Structures are given as C-alpha cells and as structure tokens.
Amino acid sequence: MSGRTLKMILGVLAILVILWSSSVLFSGRSGGGSGPDGGVASLLAGLDETTVNAVRIRRPDQTVSLQRSGDAWTVNGKAADSSAVRRFWSALAEAQVGRVVANNPKNHERMGLSTDSAWAVEFTLAEGGVASLLVGKAGPIFPSGYARLPDQDAVVVVSGDLRATLNTSLTDWRDKTILRVDTAAVARLVLETDEGTHLIVRSDTTWSVDGGPANANTIRSLLDELANFVAIGFVEEGEVFQENARRMIALGAAQDTLGAVVITGEAGIRHVRTPGNDVVFEVASFRANRITPDIEDLRPADGSGA
C-alpha cells in the first residue's frame, strides 16, 4: 500500500470519527423525543385564542400573565394592548417547527433550555388542563428559537416571531391608551391651569378661545391628541408629579363630558391621570404640550385665527 493511499484512508477515518462524535453529542443515548419534532408541533397546533383561556410566560427577569376577560385580555391584572395580543396569537399560528436537532440533555444549557434558564410558557386550556413549552436562546436562523417540551429532552428549532413575541416587555404588553374622544362630537374644551381657566368653543368649522380667535394649527394638534392620546409607559412606583397641574376637559353639545385628563410635571416626561382610573401614565412632554397648550399658543400671533 502506498503512502498516498494510506493518508487518504486515515483522512476518511478522521472525518468519520468527527461525524460520529457530532452524532453522539446531538443525539445521545438518553431521553429521546416523541416524534420527529419532539411533540412541539402537535402542542402548538391546538393552541389559539379560542382554545386558551390564559397564558403565563415566565422568564428570569419577569412574569407575564395573560387572562381572557370577555372578548378582551388582561395582562398581570391590567388592560392588555390588543395589538400585542394579536401579534402573539399570529406568531403562534405562523410558527414553523423543524425536526429534532438535539436529544442529549447536556445540550440544554448552551441552548438556553435548562430548567433554570428557559422561558416557560404555560397555556391554560378552555376545556381544562395545561399545555407547556420551554423556549431557549435564538436559533441558527433569523428569526427562530430553540424549544422543547418540559418532559422531553428533544430540542427543535421553531422559526418565526414566536420567541421575539415572548420577549415583549410587560410595559409593551399593556394597553397604553389614555384617552380616545370622538372629536367630531366636541363642542367645547375647558383648559384649567394654575393661572386660570380658558374656554375653547366650536362654531361650525371655526374655534374661539375666551371669546377671541383661536390658532387653527394649535386646535388641530389638540384634537389629534384627544382622538388618540397614548402613553409611553406607566408609573409603577416612586413619586407622582404634582406640580404644574393642567386639566383638559372635552364637552359635547349637551355639556356632557366626553373625556378629561390631568397632566402634571415640567420635565421631558410628564404624568397623566384620568378620572376614575388609578393608573398613572407617562407621556412625552411634546404630547402633553399639544393636549394642554399654553394660552399664548392657543391665540394666533397675528390675531387672525389662521
């Protein structure tokens, strides 16, 4: 046998050893999965907003508890953002489960699927019982993540936005809507500040402030905020601003209150409350200034109202 032939044989043997080692590493001899996808696809296939009453997402840094409340959902006892909930169910429905990529439990830690590092997702089923899934680190393709059933060693790659959706912060799960007013029904606006009260009145298609012309651009911005006043966050703990209080009240033709907000603070972030609601919202100062403008901004600089 020539030296060249011997080197070729040894090279082939080396490759076979590497392949065998990889097979042992990823397949192992213990704890196989149930089926070619570790049972994950079967679990996800039966889950949607009609078959699930509650979802609990436990991560090392936070726990999110979604609960059905009639036709809507709450998150940790607060109103949930309907868009965030829809994204979650959409991501669940569109998740693509691949074949098993590892069976050896020694791989769980590096894939983020050990019991102390995995994200645990528990689905409370409408017909009774709980379905559970463990989600780990990001997978080899984008977007994807590693996943397995709690009682199985088999690991699969779940492609799609499911892992990213599970990574949503508690603040982004919550409904940040402060106020929504039908501005077509608004007949009067009352602005209350430390310096006094100002009355803004609609007359057909024009507005006046304290009996004089109003700045059309300022009024337009004010109405835009009333139509969809949205926070950037919530005050969970700590001191609530009390200084520089401003109140905006929207009234209908019958003097009925269509909406009201109280804004406090002077910094880049202001605090907002609404009557009958114990939630304290955070808003950017520019949005606070639009919905409770200075009286100088409500009056046109040239007195024309344009």
> What integer pLDDT is reported at residue 74 of this predicted model?
97
Domain 177-298 maps to which CATH number in 2.170.270, 3.30.1360, 1.10.287, 2.60.40?
2.60.40
E strand map for the chain: 52-59, 62-69, 72-75, 78-79, 96-102, 119-125, 130-138, 144-148, 155-159, 177-179, 188-193, 196-203, 206-209, 212-213, 229-230, 233-234, 246-251, 257-264, 269-273, 281-284
- The secondary structure of residue 94, as a DSSP letter, is H
Kindly tell me the burial class for residue 247, based on how many C-beta atoms sit within 10 Å of its own C-beta (0-12, 13-18, 19 or more): middle
**Residue ranges of the chain whose pLDDT lies below 70:** 1-35, 302-306
Give the C-alpha separation, 5 to 250, whole Å.
91
Sorted by where each begins, the domain ranges of the chain are 29-173, 177-298
Q: Give the 3-state secondary structure percentages of the chain, helix then strand then coil, rounded to 5.
A: 25, 35, 40
| Closest CA relative to residue 153, chosen from 194, 107, 189 | 107
Q: Name beta bridge partners: 62.
A: 59
Phi/psi of residue 277, nearest 5 degrees:
-125, 125
Is the fold of 29-173 the same as that of 177-298? Answer: yes
Task: Give the model's pLDDT for residue 86.
Answer: 96
Going from the C-alpha of 43 to that of each of 125, 144, 214, 268, 291, the distances in angstroms are: 12, 17, 60, 47, 48
**What pLDDT, on the 0 to 100 scale, is given for residue 12?**
46
CATH code of the domain occupying 29-173:
2.60.40
**Which two structure tokens, joined as six digits, stand for 101?**
């990529």
> What pLDDT score does 237 carry?
84
What amino acid occupies position 175?
D
CB 50, CB 125: distance < 8 Å: no
Q: How many CB atoms lie within 10 A of CB 11?
A: 10
pLDDT given for residue 75 in this prediction: 97
Q: What is the pLDDT of residue 186?
A: 97
